Amino acid sequence: MQILLSLFYFFYFALIGVYVIFLPKVLNLSGYSASEIGIIFAAAPLVRFVVPFLFIKGLKLDTRSFNIALIILLSSATSFYFSLESFYRLLFSNIGIGIGLSLVLPYIEVISLNHLGKERYGKIRLFGSIGFILVALVLVKFLSVPSTALTYLLALTFLTVFSSFIIVRGQKDTLNRTSKEDNDINLLKDWRLWLGLTLMQVAFGPFYNFFTIYETDAGISLDMTIYLWSFGVIVEVFMLFYQGRFLQKNLLLVLQVTTFATAFRWFLVFLFPQNLYMLFFSQALHALSFALFHSAAISYLFSLYRHKSLAQQMFSGITYGLGAFVGALYSGYVYEYFPEYLFLTAAFLAFLSFVFLRFFERQSLK
């Protein structure tokens, strides 16, 4: 099972690497404006936000719905080949990808945490980071025409779908059992926690959707920008390997530290968009702002709620869904009209995330 999970993470995050690093640049080269790119890439996270609420209302969160999501994911990746010249076809393709992604990763995360535990999770999850960095380093050498990126997207989607299908086929009991737990997730009661987690992903909108465009427009070469992406993933791998000791401590405190570090990170990018030394230092903070934050967040929710699969669905939907939707949308308009302030807004949002998580701790102690 560990080998299968390693392969899944490798293929899944290599797919994400193509999606977040190269596709925005492909659309930019194809003549789309910053606001149009923001709208297109906001579609997938918006769907990820909506889908978990359908399960709360009665839709079955089982292996059948998982397999349907795999079909939708693969079909949507294929449709990109026929959509590049049409804004609306691209929009619908992203909606399909959003439906697929909204189910695939959260289910695999539940299986991973059940099978590995939070201490060993990072050592398997790091294969996803390796896949992300390898596809970045390879594809940058061959990205001469948009179809190259689309070919990588389709191939990696197929491998992701195949590996996840094999994993879930052997874990039907786990998925069907967790789907029958009573829903104990109260968003209103825990609103500070969920708002803090969501704002963290809103703050990542400028990075995921416009970092490549932002740096190349500032005069940094595409090759060097990919090296910056890759360096961030390298430090992420180290954190995932050694993070077990941090996850044994106060997970809420870990979330607070990582959100504060993220605010500092985006402020550095705002101040020094052309300073490679500061940019590499800011990317070193990716170990905290992504790797440790993500592992601490899913581990905290896994321990906080009884309905573990729905908790992961809600985390994926609300934070990576709604948060990423708002992040993509707002960053597109900010970059179109006030590009120099893009990462200043990201720093402010990450700091707000820290504040709400801090207040959640105080509230929970009463």
| Whole-number Å distance between alpha carbons of 285 and 232 | 8
Q: How does DSSP assign 305-336, residue by residue?
A: -S-HHHHHHHIIIIIIIIIHHHHHHHHHHHHH
Question: CA-CA distance, 366 to 349, in Å (whole number)?
Answer: 27
Q: Are 146 and 29 in contact (CB under 8 A)?
A: yes
* Maximum separation of any 2 CA atoms in the chain, in Å: 58
Q: From first to last of the 366 residues of the chain, give the pLDDT tens digit.
A: 788 899 999 999 898 888 877 788 788 878 888 788 878 877 777 787 787 777 666 566 667 778 888 999 999 889 887 888 888 888 888 888 888 877 788 778 878 877 777 667 778 888 888 888 888 777 767 666 667 788 888 899 999 999 988 888 866 665 555 555 566 677 788 889 999 999 999 999 999 888 988 999 999 998 899 889 889 888 988 888 888 888 887 899 999 999 999 999 999 999 999 999 999 999 999 999 988 998 899 888 888 887 777 787 788 788 887 888 889 889 988 998 899 999 999 999 999 999 999 988 644 443
Contacts of 138 (CB under 8 A, 6+ apart): none
Write out the DSSP string of 164-225: HHHHHHT-HHHHHHHTTS-----TTTTHHHHHHHHHHHHHTHHHHHHHHHHHHHTT--HHHH
pLDDT at position 365? 41
Assigned fold of 2-364: Growth Hormone; Chain: A; (1.20.1250)
> Which structure tokens are listed for 352?
């707000």
In the chain, alpha helices (H): 2-17, 23-29, 34-56, 63-79, 87-116, 118-142, 146-169, 172-178, 191-203, 205-217, 222-242, 244-247, 251-271, 276-284, 286, 293-304, 308-314, 324-337, 342-364
- Take residue 208 and report the two structure tokens written for it: 């995921």
Q: Which two tokens stand for residue 19?
A: 């999606």
* Total number of residues shown for the chain: 366
Instruction: Give the model's pLDDT for residue 134.
Output: 84
pTM of full prediction above 0.85: no
Q: How far apart are CA 90 and CA 57, in angstroms?
A: 29
